[in-house]
Amino acid sequence: MQRKTRLHTGLLIPVVLAAVLTACGGDDADTTTTAAGATTTTTTQGETTTTTRAAGGIALEFAAEVEAGSGFEVTWTGPDNQDDYVTIVEANAAEGDYLSYFYTRDGATGTLLAPVDDGDYEVRYVDGASETTQASSPLVVTPYEVTLEAPAEVEATGEFEVTWTKSGGDGPDDYITVVPVGAAEGTYEDYFYTRDGASGTLQAPVEAGDFEVRYVNGAEERTLAAMEITVTAIEITLEAPAEVEAGAEFEVVWTGPNGAQDYITIVPAGSAEGTYLDYEYTTAGSPITLQAPAEPGDYEIWYASDRVPGTFASVPIVVR
């Protein structure tokens, strides 16, 4: 059974692509003048472009509206002094503030990433030496819409496919991951980047329980959409000798999820999570061979994983 989740922050507003520089005037153009200079908003065939011209021959041109979390192009002309840059900031932000930016030395057109929060913003041409704004123009960031589709239930460590959409296009570092329900922002386990395609494969966690598949904005590490999935348990068993000689090799027969990073190890009894001595990855098959420590005492055989902390099965063993 496939579960489809459709989450958004508001009504879907199509992203407007930057148009080629258009001469001012005409019935479709709405022109206003700001303190920074002349700002012309031109609509041609349904596409709206904002062009701002300021003193010193500085100009900025970009789409009048862009969708939250999406990239958009800005074309500029200006002095291109060392370290001059173009950035996006909240409307009326203080001098020196910046969010996404590019240096003018990198070309006459650059890409900025719209913030996750919709609202009123500005695109600024900033002098790199003085950190003062030489030209600015308003930008409206509209709400986004994201969908996620994945199975409602998967087996522990099993692979499953996730399909996603984002109405205005994804950011360059956006990604899809699976995490425990309610995990803090920035938490991730297995993941894939959205730039790699409209669907990708995740591996379910080792432990059973309630998890979330999340679409995460990579620039701000914020979740744009999430859907719950259930990870079902796979029984784990371990069979090993009750006693072995110090330094001797012995076999461990096991059953379990056999995730790519699952392993079996021997540790002193009562060891902290993450402790290991001799070990073997389960991908080697069953049985696996371990070597007993040189020091006699009480030990345990653990089934564990590099992917997440925790011991998922254990049996005692005595080293003579």
pLDDT tens per residue, range 147-185: 999 999 999 888 899 999 998 889 999 999 999 999 999
Q: Verify that 83 and 207 share a domain, yes or no.
A: no
Structural domain contains residue 77: yes
CA 123, CA 126: separation in Å to the nearest integer?
10
Final residue belonging to a domain, choices 79, 110, 142? 142
| Per-residue confidence (pLDDT) for residue 23, from 0 to 100 | 27
In a domain, 207, yes or no: yes
Last residue of a domain, one of 124, 142, 160: 142
Q: Tell me: do 205 and 100 sit in the same domain.
A: no
Of residues 42 and 283, the one with the higher pLDDT is 283
Are residues 245 and 288 both part of a single domain? Answer: yes
Mean pLDDT of the 230-247 span: 96
The two structure tokens encoding residue 197: 């395609």
Average pLDDT (285-301) is: 98
pTM of the model: 0.70
What number of H helices and E strands is found in the chain?
A: 0, 28
Q: Say if residue 89's pLDDT is above 90.
A: yes
Residue (of 275, 302, 278, 280) closest to 291 by Cα position: 278
Q: Is residue 66 part of a domain?
A: yes
The predicted-structure confidence for 139-154, as pLDDT tens digits, reads as follows 999 999 999 999 999 9
Domain membership flag for residue 1:
no
Same domain, 12 and 38: yes
Residue 207 pLDDT: 84
CATH number for the domain spanning 99: value is 2.60.40
Mean pLDDT, the chain, rounded, equals: 86
Same domain, 210 and 276: no
pLDDT digits (tens, 9 = 90+) for 96-152: 999 999 999 999 999 999 999 999 999 999 999 999 999 999 999 999 999 999 999
Between residues 16 and 247, the one the model is more confident about? 247
* pLDDT value of residue 177: 98
Confidence of residue 25 (pLDDT cuts 50, 70, 90): very low
pLDDT reading at 17 higher than 50: no
Residue 278 located in a structural domain: yes
Number of folded domains that form the chain: 3
Look at residue 47 in the predicted model and tell me its pLDDT.
57
pLDDT at 141: 96
Cis peptide before 143, with omega less than 30 degrees from 0?
Answer: no
**Confidence category of residue 186, pLDDT binned at 50, 70, 90:** very high
* 228 & 263 share domain: no
The amino acid at 183 = A
pLDDT tens-digit readout, 50-60 = 666 776 789 99
Residue 234 in this model has a pLDDT that exceeds 80: yes
Contact 226, 175 (CB under 8 A): no
Q: Which class for 293: exposed (0-12), middle (13-18), buried (19 or more C-beta within 10 A)?
A: middle
196: domain CATH number is 2.60.40.1930
User: How high is the pLDDT of residue 39?
Assistant: 58
Choose the final residue of a domain: 142, 170, 187. 142
Q: Is residue 110 located within the same domain as residue 172?
A: no
User: What is the extent of the structural domain holding 310?
Assistant: 237-319
Model confidence over 36-46: pLDDT tens digits?
455 555 554 45
For residue 209, is pLDDT > 80?
A: yes
State percent of the chain over pLDDT 70. 83
Pair (114, 13) in one structural domain: yes
What residues contact residue 23 under an 8 Å CB cut-off, 6+ apart? none
Predicted local distance difference test score (pLDDT) of residue 56: 75
Asked whether residue 126 falls in the same domain as residue 101, the answer is yes
